[in-house]
Amino acid sequence: MEVTIKGSTIVRPAQETPKGSLWCSNLDILTTYHLPMLYYYKPNGCSDFFDPGRLKEALCKILVSFYPIAGRLGYDKNGRLEISCNAQGVLFVEAETTSIMDPLIADFSENSQVFRLVPEVDYSGGISSFPLLVVQVTKFICGGVCLGVGLQHSLGDGAMAIHFINSWADTARGSSPAIAPFIDRTLLRARDPPTVKFHHVEHDPPPSMKSTLESHSDDPKSYIVSTFKLTVDQLNTLKAKANSSSATKYSAFKILAAHIWRCISKARGLSGDQATKLSFPVDGRSRLNPPLPPGYLGKVIFLCAVVSQAGDLESESFTGTIQRIHEQLNQINDEYLRSALDYLEKVSDLSSLNRGPHTHRCPNLAIIPWNRFPIYDADFGWGRPVYMGPGDIVREGKVYILPSPTNDGSLYVVTCLETSQMKLFEKFLYDFHFIEHKERKLSRI
């Protein structure tokens, strides 16, 4: 796919905004890359479909209240990362392509094509040299449009990014955003002195492969990305199997995460004594006490992790695996999250905890649930997106759970695995009789 850049602009807030530095919490500092997101829109017949002028005007307006986004990264006198609120602006790129849009929707197999739809950020000039938000509007020859967004992770997490994009869309339609940003990150300061009360397994080094015979390729060409749809009926079947033998009613995420973990471990052919770590993000906004104010502008994603032997996942009941996740999630309350912030405070070099391909590649797994985000509310005045998804899925062992574009209750499981394992994963994912058979077998023991 050839993408031609037609022009680029620095967009600044429409009026004077507060100057100064915004303190960053330990969570904000932990991850510093741009989070890429892709929104696809089909033409609605309007002559001004995705007019760049209208988008930029709305962006100018919304940056007044979300003013840290128009700033730059910097360091305070102690060398700690901070955001300089200096209104230097965000990058807005206009592009076009002779390709058609439909083949790209929900297709992450060609990551190089996806990356062309989000502006490339040049980090070589130092942390103060690049915009914290980059946007690209790419028009396809068929009339469709992709809105590619890259938001610097120190600004916030996925929930904050969706809040900003939907607020921008509201502004473009002439509406007032429902929730104003709350700009005070000191609510997530570590305690003085830091008090670590729990073993934070989420920050332990991930297990490595025990046997060189089981070593897996680091060549990206050996990976494939596939998207699998789970209908409402299939999800209800999973829930029924999970809750049939337990007094506890488990959430849909716990059930699906357990199922995916078991299926991927089996598809990988892990030996029984191989340790495997499942990691997933937990939004701390409502788990903290008191809860953070609505619209909190910052990163509030904590990690939750569960470690098991692959053999245990193979032999235990489906409910047993769900219970592992349930117990770990249940302990994540205000005290646990404050302990996590204090743990990070005591780490001398937070970059040592940076998450990347090494944290979720085989034998491990990362599941990122976006199914509760209002990702399809980004209507800029020309209709809702026909598809929205992440731009960084091509990393082995990474899984996204996305909602259906049609709001029919189904879910999409976007998975990156070694090519040789994907067919097996697909087989196990849809093989609900396998769960049923194992439950009956265990009940007879």
Q: Which residues are catalytic?
A: 153, 379
Beta strand 133-140 with 90-97: parallel, antiparallel or unpaired?
Answer: parallel
- Asked if 370 and 402 touch (Cβ cutoff 8 Å), the reply is yes
Tokens 């070694």, residue? 418
**Rounded distance, CA 24 to CA 291, Å?**
19
Bridge partners (DSSP) of residue 3 are 97
**Rounded distance, CA 268 to CA 277, Å?**
14
Beta strand 72-75 with 3-11: parallel, antiparallel or unpaired?
Answer: unpaired
**Rounded distance, CA 272 to CA 270, Å?**
6
Report residue 258 CA to chain centroid gap. Answer: 19
**Rounded distance, CA 77 to CA 305, Å?**
35
404: left (phi over 0), alpha (psi -120 to 50) or beta: beta
Q: Is the peptide bond before 369 cis (omega within 30 degrees of 0)?
A: no
| Sign of the CA dihedral running 65, 71, 73, 75 | negative
Residues 6+ apart with CB under 8 A from 12: 60, 63, 70, 87, 88, 89
Would you call 348 exposed, middle or buried from its count of C-beta atoms within 10 A (0-12, 13-18, 19+)? exposed
Identity of the amino acid at 108 = F
- Asked if 136 and 37 touch (Cβ cutoff 8 Å), the reply is no
